[in-house]
Amino acid sequence: MTFLPYAVVVVITVAGIYGVATSRNLVHMVICLSVLQSATLVLLLAMGYRTGAQAPIISTARGSRHAVDPVVQALTLTDVVVGATVVALLLALVVQAHKRSGTLDPDELRPFRG
Amino acid sequence: MSARARGLMTSCGCGALAGLLVWALSGLPDFGAYHRLYGLYLDAHAVAQRHATNVVAAVTFDYRGVDTMIEEFILFAAVVGVALLLRAQREETEVGPRDEARGRRAPRSSDAVRMFGLGAVGPSVLVGIYIVAHGHLTPGGGFQGGTVLAGALTLVYLAGEYLVFRRVGPVELMDLSEGAAAAAFVAAGLAGLVAAGTFLLNLLPLGTIGEIDSAGLIPIVNTAVGVEVAAGMSLVLSEFLEQTLMVRGRRS
């Protein structure tokens, strides 16, 4: 089952996009975007994995030849933080959109007046 | 466009995308068969070069420190964006954080929530500080610990009242520490630039591997990020609470 993590990436990506496209509620849409983004986390971690390797916490100066890739893990960290802030920013936009138009349904949103 | 047509289009698009993703991912090396030189080099040499046993932290705060600095400014910009979006709009007024129904008492949180919340605040702060301080040694670091610290402040809100929350985490203090932490990261980078011509160069003594005062610049930058994340997340939370509790539409 060496393809399983990649299959999970495909499933999460497609599920996220489907959710965003068919969403009838802006908060739901933001969460779907966050689901979509979590596919990149799985992809990054899956790419860096080596069978039987340990976590990149290495206690000797000699280093380790049996640790997973630390670079993709650092990138995952970046991904998580950016994802969380994007969700916060979008939810703030949703709050204002609801105040302006009184609805959270994207189909009923009118173009904003200035 | 009708809902049916849109659903059909979405299904077609998702199907095509899934096909393309499968095609792209099948070109990657098999799961577990990893052979990238950059990662392998870091696993072999990072501890000797930087004396940080958590290689991920060494990558985040040293080898790719400039990336992390830019990322920190993304966080900064997002927090500023939230504050800007949730300010009182033209037709709104901001009322003070006071009890509007003086005659009756607001319903308090249930006893179970208050007990657990107040009991968990202290340990969460401790765990948060521990995770930040040991970021270069064990899994953890500024980003993770900062989030735990912001979570502790959330517990104060859940267990107490909004006024207590404001007293424990005043917005001015969070604004200040947010800005100061971002500035500290840049200052640490500039120090290396001035002293040796390389931005974020790890100039400080590296210490003994595995000790808390090892790894030179990494724990300092790590702490700056921890403060930044804790202040940023708390500010976002506080902006949303302020929006709910204090901003009133004039016409409503």
Assess if residue B15 is contained within a domain.
Answer: no
Please give the pLDDT value at position A36: 92
Number of domains in chain B: 1
Mean pLDDT over residues B205-230, rounded?
84
Assess if residue B25 is contained within a domain.
Answer: no
Assess if residue B230 is contained within a domain.
Answer: yes
Above pLDDT 70, what percent of chain A?
A: 95
Domain edges within chain A:
4-52+68-108
ipTM: 0.81
Which member of A17, A69, A80 has the closest CB to residue B14? Answer: A17
Assess if residue B124 is contained within a domain.
Answer: yes
Please give the pLDDT value at position B252: 45
Assess if residue B7 is contained within a domain.
Answer: no
Q: Which has the higher per-residue pLDDT, B205 or B169?
A: B205
Mean pLDDT over residues A75-90, rounded?
88
Domain with B120, as residue range(s), is: 54-95+107-249
Instruction: Give this prediction's pTM.
Output: 0.81
Right CATH for A4-52+68-108 from 1.10.287.3510, 3.40.640.10, 3.40.50.10490, 3.40.109.10: 1.10.287.3510
Q: List pLDDT tens digits, range B83-140.
A: 888 877 766 766 666 656 666 666 667 888 888 888 888 899 999 999 998 888 888 8
Contacts 24+ apart (CB under 8 A), A89-94: A89/B78, A89/B81, A89/B82, A89/B85, A90/A30, A90/A33, A91/A27, A91/A30, A91/B240, A92/B81, A92/B82, A92/B85, A92/B86, A92/B239, A92/B240, A93/B85, A94/A26, A94/A27, A94/A30
Which member of B18, B139, B209 has the closest CB to residue A61? Answer: B209
Please give the pLDDT value at position B90: 66
Residues of B in Cβ contact (< 8 Å) with A99: 89, 249
Above pLDDT 70, what percent of chain B?
A: 89
pLDDT classification of A40: cutoffs 50, 70, 90: very high
CA–CA min distance B111, chain A (Å): 30
Residues of A in Cβ contact (< 8 Å) with B80: none
Assess if residue B14 is contained within a domain.
Answer: no
Mean pLDDT over residues B50-56, rounded?
84
